[in-house]
């Protein structure tokens, strides 16, 4: 009996020792993601991006949390896309044209085809992405795309009332907007948006091409005097929100499903925000003493004719880069614009 008790005690003791020696099992914490955006925290587009982060945490029941870095504090505007690919951030939000030449198909959306609203431009770019599935995005997971309202000529000191007034003026512009400046007779100075205010303030440039929202969102209404409302030749600028492909593939299926649903909603929110902020930007511009210059039908037609070669040149250049259906893409955009505007 004593031997059985001793043996039982010894077995119990060994079990306790082995249990104590085993590593503690801890419940896995939430997946933590980083999100880089160049817009300042107070800008409506930045506010929406931060709201997306909070919505992801809410709808995944805390399985995913997102650390948000606005104002280019994690990666600068031009570095944002590569930053996602290289793992500097898990998610990035910036301008496609800042990595010029990298997105030959989707850049057709930016052409000066006469955009009138951000809602329409956003719907156009997402339809183009869905229909043509550009291979240029194969190194990331696209969350969603969006685009601002009509990009218009703004100047400081000198009004642009007709095409000839563009001659000799320097404009901050990039990507398609730089091509528009050249086509209209001005000289583009390619710099990212965060540098625009200072360039105008110091007289480095005479003006800039941008949507009305930037008059308030970037305070450019403080350093410009005139806005030329050439809507029939207006371009847009496309924005991306993308995630590291590896990070996306590591997420559980239910989390992916929740995020996809949010993405659909947020694309619409961004488009609506562009239009709302355009109205606020116009009001801010006028409140600073700015003047809006309207163009009659004849002058609008002159501007539209002046930028037309940008569109045909795009098709030729895109075909050289392997986009054999470039004309089909342009035709699809023109048709979609006709349906929506």
CATH of the domain at 246: 3.40.190.170
> Are 64 and 51 in a shared domain?
yes
Average pLDDT of the chain?
92
Q: Is the pLDDT of residue 25 over 70?
A: no
pLDDT of residue 16: 39
Q: Is the pLDDT of residue 8 over 80?
A: no
pLDDT of residue 75: 97
pLDDT of residue 162: 97
> Are 89 and 46 in a shared domain?
yes
Q: Is the pLDDT of residue 23 over 60?
A: no
Query: 172 lies in a domain?
Result: yes
Query: 49 lies in a domain?
Result: yes
Q: Domain limits at 131?
A: 31-109+117-148+236-279
The whole-angstrom separation of Cα 265 and Cα 51 is 12
Number of domain units in the chain = 2
Q: For the residues 241-247, what does the mean pLDDT come to?
A: 98
Q: For the residues 228-253, what does the mean pLDDT come to?
A: 97
Q: Is the pLDDT of residue 1 over 60?
A: no
User: 177-182: long-range contacts (C-beta < 8 A, 24 or more apart)?
Assistant: 177/97, 177/151, 177/209, 177/210, 177/235, 177/237, 179/310, 180/112, 180/151, 180/209, 180/233, 180/235, 180/307, 180/310, 181/209
> Are 137 and 245 in a shared domain?
yes
> Are 180 and 103 in a shared domain?
no
- pTM reported for the whole predicted model: 0.87
Q: pLDDT tens for residues 290-327?
A: 999 999 999 999 999 999 999 999 999 999 999 999 99
pLDDT of residue 175: 87
Q: For the residues 216-228, what does the mean pLDDT come to?
A: 97
Residue where the block lists tokens 């218009």: 152
Query: 3 lies in a domain?
Result: no
Give the model's confidence band at 14: pLDDT under 50 very low, under 70 low, under 90 confident, else very high: very low
Query: 7 lies in a domain?
Result: no
> Are 43 and 103 in a shared domain?
yes
Query: 162 lies in a domain?
Result: yes
- Which has the higher per-residue pLDDT, 193 or 140? 140
Query: 21 lies in a domain?
Result: no
Last residue of a domain, which of 253, 279, 305? 279
> Are 123 and 160 in a shared domain?
no
Find the farthest-apart pair of alpha carbons in the chain and give their distance in angstroms, rounded.
112
Q: Is the pLDDT of residue 6 over 60?
A: no
Residue 242 in 3-state DSSP? Answer: strand
> Are 163 and 67 in a shared domain?
no
> Are 308 and 184 in a shared domain?
yes
> Are 161 and 298 in a shared domain?
yes
Q: For the residues 32-43, what does the mean pLDDT come to?
A: 96
Q: pLDDT tens for residues 76-123?
A: 999 999 999 999 999 999 999 888 789 999 999 999 999 999 999 999
Q: 324 exposed, middle or buried (CB, 10 Å; 0-12, 13-18, 19+)?
A: exposed
Give the model's confidence band at 28: pLDDT under 50 very low, under 70 low, under 90 confident, else very high: low
Query: 11 lies in a domain?
Result: no
> Are 275 and 221 in a shared domain?
no
- Which has the higher per-residue pLDDT, 208 or 10? 208
Query: 124 lies in a domain?
Result: yes
> Are 65 and 100 in a shared domain?
yes
Q: pLDDT tens for residues 164-177?
A: 999 999 999 988 99
Residue where the block lists tokens 């003047």: 291
> Are 143 and 266 in a shared domain?
yes
DSSP class of residue 39 equals S
């Amino acid at each position: 009996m004593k031997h059985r008790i001793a043996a039982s005690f010894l077995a119990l003791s060994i079990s306790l020792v082995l249990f104590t020696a085993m590593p503690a099992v801890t419940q896995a914490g939430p997946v933590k993601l980083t999100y880089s955006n160049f817009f300042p925290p107070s800008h409506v587009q930045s506010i929406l991006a931060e709201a997306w982060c909070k919505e992801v945490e809410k709808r995944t029941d805390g399985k995913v949390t997102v650390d948000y870095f606005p104002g280019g504090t994690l990666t600068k505007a031009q570095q944002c896309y590569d930053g996602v690919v290289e793992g500097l951030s898990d998610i990035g939000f910036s301008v496609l044209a800042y990595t010029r030449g990298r997105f030959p198909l989707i850049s057709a959306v930016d052409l000066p085809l006469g955009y009138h609203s951000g809602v329409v431009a956003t719907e156009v770019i997402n339809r183009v992405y869905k229909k043509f599935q550009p291979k240029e995005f194969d190194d990331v997971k696209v969350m969603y795309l969006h685009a601002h309202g009509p990009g218009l000529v703004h100047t400081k000191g000198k009004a642009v009332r007709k095409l000839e007034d563009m001659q000799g003026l320097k404009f901050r512009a990039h990507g398609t907007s730089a091509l528009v400046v050249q086509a209209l007779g001005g000289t583009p100075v390619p710099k990212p948006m965060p540098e625009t205010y200072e360039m105008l303030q110091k007289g480095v440039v005479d003006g800039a091409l941008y949507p009305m929202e930037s008059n308030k969102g970037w305070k450019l209404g403080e350093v410009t005097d005139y806005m030329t409302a050439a809507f029939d030749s207006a371009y847009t600028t496309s924005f991306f929100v993308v995630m590291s492909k590896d990070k996306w593939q590591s997420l559980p299926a239910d989390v992916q499903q929740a995020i996809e649903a949010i993405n659909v909603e947020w694309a619409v929110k961004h488009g609506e925000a562009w239009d709302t902020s355009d109205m606020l930007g116009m009001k801010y511009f006028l409140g600073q003493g700015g003047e809006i210059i309207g163009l009659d039908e004849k002058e609008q037609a002159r501007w539209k004719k002046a930028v037309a070669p940008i569109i045909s040149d795009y098709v030729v250049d895109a075909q050289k880069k392997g986009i054999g259906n470039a004309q089909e893409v342009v035709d699809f955009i023109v048709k979609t614009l006709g349906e929506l505007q």
